[in-house]
Amino acid sequence: MQRILFMMLAAVCAFALPASAQQQAARAPIDAFVGYDTYRDVDMSPNGRYIAGVRREAAGDVVFVYDLQERRMNVVSSARAEHQMEIGSVEFKGNDRLVFVVLQKIHYVASNASARRTRIADDAFGWTARMYSSNLDGSGLVSLYDPSEQQGFDRDVSGGIVSMLPNDPDNVLIIIPNYGGAELRRSNIRTGVHTLVERGYGNTFNWIVDINGTPVLRQDSIAGGRGYAWLRRGPGQTEWTEIVRFRGAEGANSGPTFQGLGPAVAPGQVFVLARRDGQDTSGLYLFDSATGNYVETIQTNADFDVTGAVRDLEHNRILAACWWAYRYTCEAKDPVFRRHWNAITTALGDDLNVNFVASGGEGAVSRWIVQTSGPQDLGTYSLYDANTHSLNVLFSSRQVPAAQLPTERVVHYTASDGRELWGYLWIPPGVTNAANLPMVVVPHGGPEGRDTWGFDPFATWLSSQGYAVFQPNFRGGGGFGRSFVEAGHRQWGQRMQDDVTDGVRSLISQGIVDSNRICIMGWSYGGYVTFTASFQNTDLFKCAVAGAGVSDMVEMQRWVRDGLARSDVGGSGGAGSQSMSYRYWVQAMGDPVADRDMLNAHSAARNADRVTIPLLMIHGEEDSTVPIEQSQIMERAMRRAGHPTRLITLEDMDHYYSPDQADGWRIALTEASTFIGQNIGPGVAPGSQ
């Protein structure tokens, strides 16, 4: 324990600034928060000697291998940014081979025949994958899959790695799209020769295999990509049986969750995350694909959804079950793993999330790679030696001095109806007396998302510029069980809105926040909250920045019902009043016919004449989740009401925060902070209070 703590303190101190330098530290630059991590997707060879991963350079991504014994790094392959390419993943296959995926941006274009074709373009909507294997020095390169061999084929569904088959030294399982439906192939990493294992449908995009490499779970896209279904089939069975289907944007669903993880020790059995019938939160289970029974309960939590696991891929065991509580939490299941894990997390302290990444070792050598993150750690990979109990920094994803980054704390409050809630409060850099601060409220998207401890592009950026930032985990958000989600149904602009404003009033009453210097900024559902605040909560907020938000719920549902989403180009997709997407949003928002008055009462575009605070709108031109028309509707409504406003259209930009769209996010963040500063003044200077 002492050894771990000593080594980590030495590493942290190497990046720290003296107190005088902290007081004079400049603001963190915008490029610290957008674009690609310098290092990502790190893996370790089974013998523990080599580390591989992706490094971002000026020209694009490179695959690197670092020899821990020789202390030497070499480049294996590259993907040039000018060709709209990046490295998707890197994994070791044994001690002498790598398997890596190269992604290329593609743009979907509807042809006259209503089929999709693709071209490389700046305003791409998706990625297509190439898969390769090579020796550790880059020699012996073998193509496992190249989509250019399928000329004219619809590549809306990309290829990927299904299983590295750790007990098969020469083969991996990959999924590729093909004319007769998706194929599961066993591909030789040394020759590229493949055999067909299984064929799915055109919408099949994933399989989970058992210990023998037999596909026992299948995942299909449905509703034009706005939902998906899980199916099961035991070894020796011929028919696939549906387990569950999900509906709504990004898998949001009103039923039980289900996600396959990987094989267990018995044929036909796999580990899954699931919300079983009658259970409020999701748990980690052993599942039998032949019967559909949950054979063993490995982990449940009454307060939080279990969302992940640390698995021993060689022996198909669960080492730990993990979930997002206030911070990322893993409960060890293996006694040896527990001893080391508890020592590491205790030494690192409560300000960091700790993720197990990989391990390796032969004989007396045992090494782990762990990744940390937190409000003042934007991603660090460290090497843990289980024999010497030492932990040393390997790579930092982003080099930002701690003095330029905010701190974060958990705050609890009581909603106006008596419900106990909590959220995250960010304190600007250098502030030691959190009193009378200017603040920006940043509600999360989804709405079935949630905020988590550590980096958030809006919260981290705004707080680094001198503002306190409040992120409330309001009802309707995910991660806390199904009843918490359903407590937000048909409560848009009502109970969900009150949960946000109740938290703000709590911070004001504690003297943390200056009640005359508060703005609100949100994206997606957070953009809806912001739009609504611009006319419902003008007593609290002095300005509002609505990003990709819903301004008119009735029109939003019409757009979904009519199948106008980008993912539905060339087909009906999820269109229609009986489509999964439409039924989900009716359930979440309310019925556009029966509840029309309620929806209009809480839609900003229908109440633009009541907007009395400055409003800035930002929206991606290519957004296929919330169409830019939602911001355009609000812009027209504001003009009719005689209220000045501004809509910033981000060209070639979709809905989600991603590193390849750094230019758009740079504009969004800088414009937002400038607008906020114009309305509530600049943020506090580091060390000023």
CATH number at residue 646: 3.40.50.1820
Q: Is the pLDDT of residue 602 over 80?
A: yes
Query: 566 and 515, same structural domain?
Result: no
640 in any annotated domain: yes
607 in any annotated domain: yes
* Cα dihedral 563→567→573→574 (10° resolution): -60
Query: 673 and 618, same structural domain?
Result: yes
Q: Which residues contact 345 (CB under 8 A, 6 or more apart)?
A: 330, 354
169 in any annotated domain: no
- Lowest-confidence pick of 218-222, 237-241, 253-257: 253-257
**pLDDT of the residue at 81:** 92
Does residue 46 have a cis bond before it (omega within 30 degrees)?
no
221 in any annotated domain: no
Query: 588 and 469, same structural domain?
Result: no
Roughly what angle, to the nearest 10 degrees, separates helices 495-509 and 525-536?
70
Residue 665 belongs to what H/E stretch?
A: helix 662-680
288 in any annotated domain: no
Render pLDDT for 618-674 as a digit per residue (tens, 0 to 9): 999 999 889 999 999 999 999 999 999 999 999 989 999 999 999 999 999 999 999
More confident residue, 15 or 400: 400
Q: Predicted confidence band at 578 (pLDDT cuts at 50, 70, 90)?
A: low
Distances (CA, A) of 19 to 24, 97, 318, 398, 576: 9, 47, 44, 22, 61
Query: 459 and 505, same structural domain?
Result: yes
Query: 598 and 659, same structural domain?
Result: no
Q: Is the pLDDT of residue 23 over 80?
A: no
Query: 425 and 574, same structural domain?
Result: no
Distances (CA, A) of 345 to 8, 177, 303, 370, 372: 11, 42, 21, 10, 10
Q: Structurally, how many domains does the chain consist of?
A: 2
Q: Predicted confidence band at 153 (pLDDT cuts at 50, 70, 90)?
A: low
DSSP 443: -
> 602, 618, 640 — which closes off a domain?
602
- Lowest-confidence pick of 32-46, 78-92, 94-108, 567-581: 567-581
To 5 degrees, how large is the angle CA 653–CA 659–CA 664?
35
Q: Predicted confidence band at 364 (pLDDT cuts at 50, 70, 90)?
A: low
Query: 670 and 638, same structural domain?
Result: yes
Q: Predicted confidence band at 110 (pLDDT cuts at 50, 70, 90)?
A: very low
Percentages (nearest 5) of helix, strand, coil residues in the chain: 25, 35, 40
Q: Predicted confidence band at 561 (pLDDT cuts at 50, 70, 90)?
A: confident
Residue type, 615: L
663 in any annotated domain: yes
Helices and strands (H and E) in the chain: how many: 12, 36
368 in any annotated domain: no
Query: 610 and 588, same structural domain?
Result: no
More confident residue, 10 or 147: 147
Query: 644 and 580, same structural domain?
Result: no
Q: Side by side, which strands form the sheet with 60-67?
A: 39-44, 50-57, 60-67, 72-80
> 602, 637, 670 — which closes off a domain?
602
User: How far is it, in rounded angstroms, from Cα 633 to Cα 240?
Assistant: 45
Query: 564 and 426, same structural domain?
Result: no
Rg, the chain, Cα only = 25
User: How far is it, in rounded angstroms, from Cα 389 to Cα 566?
Assistant: 52
User: How far is it, in rounded angstroms, from Cα 22 to Cα 686?
Assistant: 8
Q: Is the pLDDT of residue 283 over 90?
A: yes
Q: Are 603 and 553 in contact (CB under 8 A)?
A: yes
Query: 567 and 632, same structural domain?
Result: no
617 in any annotated domain: yes
Query: 561 and 475, same structural domain?
Result: no
Nearest to 473 by CA among 357, 324, 278: 324
Q: Is the pLDDT of residue 440 over 90?
A: yes
Q: Based on the number of CB atoms within 10 Å of its own CB, is 485 exposed (0-12), middle (13-18) or buried (19 or more)? A: buried
**pLDDT of the residue at 245:** 84
User: How far is it, in rounded angstroms, from Cα 384 to Cα 645?
Assistant: 53
CA atoms within 13 A on the CB side of 669: 25
Q: Which residues of 144-163 are buried (b: 16+ CB within 10 A; e: fewer)?
A: bbebeeeeeeebbbbbbbbb
**Domain range enclosing 576:** 553-602
User: How far is it, in rounded angstroms, from Cα 341 to Cα 435?
Assistant: 37
> 602, 620, 639 — which closes off a domain?
602
User: How far is it, in rounded angstroms, from Cα 59 to Cα 47?
Assistant: 32
